Amino acid sequence: MHYTIEPGLYALGKPDEHSQVLVTANYKMSFDKLRDALPGRNAWVLVLDTRGINVWCASGKGTFGTMELVSRIKSSGLEQIVSHRELILPQLSGPGVAAHLVRKLSGFKVVYGPIRATDLPTFLDDGLKATPEMRLKTFTTLERMVLIPMELIEALKAGLIITPIFFVLAFLGNSGGAWTNALRHGLFASVAILAAILAGAVLTPLLLPWLPGRAFSVKGLTLGVLTAAGLIVFRWIGWVTWAGRLEVLAWVFLITAISAYLAMNFTGASTYTSLSGVRKEMRWALPLQIGAGIVGMILWLGSNFIA
Amino acid sequence: MMNQLIYLRDVVTLSLDQIKCVGCGTCLLVCPHAVLSLTNGKVEIANRDACMECGACAKNCPVEALRVRSGVGCATAVINSMLGRKDSSCCCTIESEN
């Protein structure tokens, strides 16, 4: 899935020894965004070997790092190609690069450019000055929407494994001959699981800033409860029997657990959650999610086997 | 800071030794969430809860005045490490615009 380009020095337009040097990762999209942001300009682009990973992730892993930069300066012969000693790095390479060490080891001064490549023309024209907005990593609705397909596909994969288990259990539980009953239980399980996935992996990312709570699990839990409430209305007929009541209650637990869990996993895609924060959230949220899942399963089995 | 999303309160490991700080301001440039401010030649932690522990400030501090236990805030990665799996399928499967 990764699109890699060859590391090394590239020319943008017709650069000379005075042209600026921009540094990026060897993930093709990073390179293309940089190139597309600077039409008609002359500059050098120094591409680091980040194993096809984008700037921010690579700097977090250290592959977009001080040592790689220093050795790439040497191997590309940059010192002979430009007369100045200045590099423009994307701001988000900060976690991997120590600017003061790069200077000490290579003689090149690191200037941190804006976060977004699209802000580069303004940054270059303003004498390498970034506005405070250019230095902020955002998480806009559009940026969150782009991430949804990935979250959804992963969740649906798991859903496809879990759903048949409910069908099998439903048929085992209703083996007295009530096949239609079993089918109904199984079909409702499919609908409920799908609804829980939509709540946790689609609606939570989409509505993130407006959902109550700071912990992602709380945001997912809120939507899970609302989704479960919606399904109860849809399955109102279930309340007449004890088995029906158990089944409905089971899905309140299960949908909430699934939605909260999926929402919690969206921390990895977000641009503002800290590891300490995620660990703190998980310490209470994960046991509750597992607990709610177990309680839900017991109630659901009860509704099938006891009735 | 308008519309800035903030995660949990009082949890990050970011710390600053103002005595060591030389006021170079590099940390302010690399921080993606405007956590730090510079007043009278000294850096201050102005918006602690906005910190995501990316580690850029500490990495770029020439005098080691800033410290943070850096990492990626990703539940999937935490679960994988609890299960002993070395699968970092977290942030890096999804590409940002950088």
How far A264 CA sits from the closest chain B CA (Å)? 6
Q: What is the pLDDT of residues B4-47, one digit of tens each?
A: 899 999 999 999 999 999 999 999 999 999 999 999 999 999 99
pLDDT above 70 (res B92): no
Q: Please state, as a whole number, how many other Cβ atoms lie within 10 Å of the Cβ of residue B97.
A: 17
Domain that holds residue B65: 15-71
Higher pLDDT, A231 or B57: B57
Could B8 and A139 be called an inter-chain contact, meaning their C-beta atoms sit closer than 8 Å?
Answer: no
pLDDT above 90 (res B90): no
Size of interface A-B (CB pairs under 8 A): 170
| Reported pTM | 0.92
Q: A 36-55 residues with CB below 8 A of B? A: 53-55
Measured CA to CA, the distance from residue A66 to residue A47 in angstroms comes to 14
Q: Which residue of A has its CA nearest to B4?
A: A138
pLDDT category at A1 given cuts 50, 70, 90 is low
Q: What is the pLDDT of residues A229-240, one digit of tens each?
A: 998 887 766 677
Residue B9 falls inside a structural domain = no
pLDDT above 70 (res A214): yes
CATH code for residues A8-135:
3.40.50.11600
Mean pLDDT for the stretch of residues A137-149? 96
Residue B86 falls inside a structural domain = no
pLDDT above 60 (res A293): yes
Residues 6+ apart with CB under 8 A from A74: A106
Mean pLDDT for the stretch of residues A65-71? 97
pLDDT above 90 (res B83): no
Q: Label the pairing between strands B42-45 and A21-25.
A: unpaired
Higher pLDDT, A180 or A137: A137
* DSSP code of residue A115: S
Q: Where in chain A is the domain with CATH 3.40.50.11600?
A: 8-135
Measured between CB atoms, which of B8, B70, B73 is closest to A95?
B70
| Predicted local confidence at residue B7, as pLDDT | 97
Residue A26 Cα to chain centre, angstroms? 21
Question: How many Å is the maximal CA-CA distance in chain A?
Answer: 86
Measured between CB atoms, which of A60, A115, A272 is closest to B5?
A272
pLDDT category at A275 given cuts 50, 70, 90 is very high
| Predicted local confidence at residue B46, as pLDDT | 96
Residue B4 falls inside a structural domain = no
| Predicted local confidence at residue B88, as pLDDT | 54
Tokens (6 digits) for B96: 């940002």
Decide: A256 and A249 in contact? Cβ < 8 Å: no
Q: A 151-180 residues with CB below 8 A of B? A: none
Measured between CB atoms, which of A61, A91, A270 is closest to B30?
A91
Mean pLDDT for the stretch of residues A42-65? 95
Strand partners, B44: B37
pLDDT category at B81 given cuts 50, 70, 90 is confident
Measured between CB atoms, which of B32, B55, B73 is closest to A91?
B32
Q: B 15-54 residues with CB below 8 A of A? A: 26, 29-34, 50-54
pLDDT above 80 (res B98): no
| Predicted local confidence at residue B94, as pLDDT | 42
pLDDT above 50 (res A206): yes
Residue (of A68, A94, A80, A96) closest to A44 by Cα position: A80
> What integer best gives the mean pLDDT of chain B?
87
Number of domains in chain B: 1
Q: A 213-252 residues with CB below 8 A of B? A: 214-216
3-state secondary structure of B23: coil
> What integer best gives the mean pLDDT of chain A?
94
Judging contacts by C-beta atoms under 8 Å, the chain A residues touching residue B94 are 146-147, 150, 269
pLDDT above 90 (res A23): yes
pLDDT category at B1 given cuts 50, 70, 90 is very low
Residue B44 falls inside a structural domain = yes
Q: Please state, as a whole number, how many other Cβ atoms lie within 10 Å of the Cβ of residue A131.
A: 12
Q: What is the length of chain A?
A: 307
Measured CA to CA, the distance from residue A111 to residue A100 in angstroms comes to 11
Measured CA to CA, the distance from residue A82 to residue A88 in angstroms comes to 14
Give percent above pLDDT 70 in chain B.
84
Q: Label the pairing between strands B42-45 and A109-112.
A: unpaired
Residue B85 falls inside a structural domain = no
Measured CA to CA, the distance from residue A231 to residue A195 in angstroms comes to 9
Q: Please state, as a whole number, how many other Cβ atoms lie within 10 Å of the Cβ of residue A283.
A: 9
Residue B97 falls inside a structural domain = no
**CATH number of the structural domain spanning residue B66:** 3.30.70.20
Find which of A123, A276, A283 to mutate to test the B interface (most B CBs within 10 Å of its CB). A276
Give percent above pLDDT 90 in chain A.
85
Residue B83 falls inside a structural domain = no
Asked if B4 has any chain A CB less than 8 Å from its own CB, the reply is yes
Judging contacts by C-beta atoms under 8 Å, the chain B residues touching residue A132 are 34
